[in-house]
Amino acid sequence: MAKTKTAYFCQSCGYESAKWLGKCPSCNQWNTFVEEIVEKSSTSIPTWKTEATSRKLSKPSKVDEIQSSTERRIPTGDKELDRVLGGGLVEGSLILIGGEPGIGKSTLMLQLALNLKGKKLLYISGEESEQQIKMRAERIKESPSSDCYILTETSTQNIFKQIEILEPEIVVVDSIQTLHSAHIDSTPGSVSQVRECTAELLRFAKETGTPVFLIGHITKDGAIAGPKILEHMVDTVLQFEGDRHHVYRILRSIKNRFGAAAELGIYEMQGSGLREVSNPSEILLSQRDEELSGIAIAAMLEGARPMLIETQALVSSAAYGNPQRSATGFDTRRMNMLLAVLEKRCGFRLSAQDVFLNIAGGIRVEDPAIDLAVLIAIISSHQDIAVSSKNCFAAEVGLSGEIRAVNRIEQRIAEADKLGFESIYISKYNLKGIALEKYNIEIKAVSKIEEVFSLIFG
């Protein structure tokens, strides 16, 4: 009998070593190496078509000889998912969806399976029984689709046998960490198994042109569990985010070979499943009966999508010595930089004040165009002067207090105009090429922070 061969794998990045190491030389993480059996069975085990499809030998081709063709898109019937994917499903694509437990990944995929018209879909579950899935399907839809097939299986060899018989047009795997391949002797969910199972599904997707969705678990750090190579192998990585105690969920594109990698889809979790939120500005702007201090509206962009978002600030005297600086949904270091600009350029003494910043709606913003709204909200709270809810802001703030231009300003102005805002403050360097007469909103162009403060606070 052959000696069992083992190797050590980094659980963070998948780096392989012949011996145990305290620190991974690839990703520099400590204590991530685990021992796994890597000896393959001597008998040949069938994989997708037993790898029997004699592969075509690839030959090099000149770039100008390759025929270009636009990839065919399959509409999913879910406008938010289509937007995040770049316009629909691409044939032969491998899509990985990650998110916290209970956030709604399985619900989103089952909803897609039940609503997809005219496509035979195979939903493979390694975590739930057929009865559990049936219960959820009835809650989502009164009359579940007849084109959705459920398979509760974890062995990739058995899965591919059923795929050959059924010949589905779309495949959903829930989840990739539960699958195991007979090629690898280690346990399901280990680095080797996740990598091997993904490679087999990738080969199947590319050879047959079948789109495959993989649901992936995440670690306590928020990264998708398994080796980092998993994210390199797939075509698209989507992150499903949100607080389980709130109703709104955000589907964010992290990597996309067939579209923009910064798109955003918003859903509302209801008892009957996930509802698409077509106008996110409505949920990101709170409905108020009276004007309150410390609130300013920013016109931001997430991917190709303009949104109006509420920025909330609270400034109060520090009662316990060192003042606190806390930001939710915004980079704390950037907030500290903006507070330093206020102190140096505008003379506001905030060094002895606690400053708390919150981006409403529970989303995280990285668009620098929100800078001006953050400053206005902070000064509004500090001076206890309310800013009109009919004003919005779209500009970056530099270290010298200058108001800098931001990209795609016309989309931001059009969104604010559509939602009934009366004025928008932008950088004067953004005015070039804008047809002011086609907007009903008043566009106020400024170049310094002092100008904004004098216009807003007098």
Binding residues: 99-106
- Alpha helices, H only, 393-439: 409-418
User: Smallest Cα–Cα separation from 425: which of 457, 382, 381?
Assistant: 457
| Burial of 34 (C-beta count, 10 Å sphere; 0-12/13-18/19+) | middle
User: Is there a contact between 202 and 234 (Cβ–Cβ < 8 Å)?
Assistant: yes
| Chain Cα centroid distance, residue 239 | 4
User: Smallest Cα–Cα separation from 170: which of 251, 89, 83, 105?
Assistant: 89
Q: Which amino acid is at 356?
A: F
Q: Which amino acid is at 213?
A: F
Backbone angles phi, psi at 297, to 5 degrees: -105, 130
| Burial of 439 (C-beta count, 10 Å sphere; 0-12/13-18/19+) | middle
Q: Is the peptide bond before 175 cis (omega within 30 degrees of 0)?
A: yes
Other beta carbons within 10 Å of 100: 17
Q: Which H/E stretch holds residue 296?
A: strand 295-302
User: Smallest Cα–Cα separation from 252: which of 76, 101, 99?
Assistant: 99
- Token readout for 242 is 């949100």
d(CA 295, CA 277): 23
User: Is there a contact between 309 and 300 (Cβ–Cβ < 8 Å)?
Assistant: yes
d(CA 330, CA 375): 13
Over its C-alpha atoms, the chain yields an Rg (Å, rounded) of 26
Tokens 């506001």, residue located: 348
Beta pairing class for 305-317 and 353-359: antiparallel
DSSP codes of every residue in 428-441 = GGG-TT--GGG-SS
List binding-site positions for ATP: 99-106
User: Is there a contact between 76 and 251 (Cβ–Cβ < 8 Å)?
Assistant: no
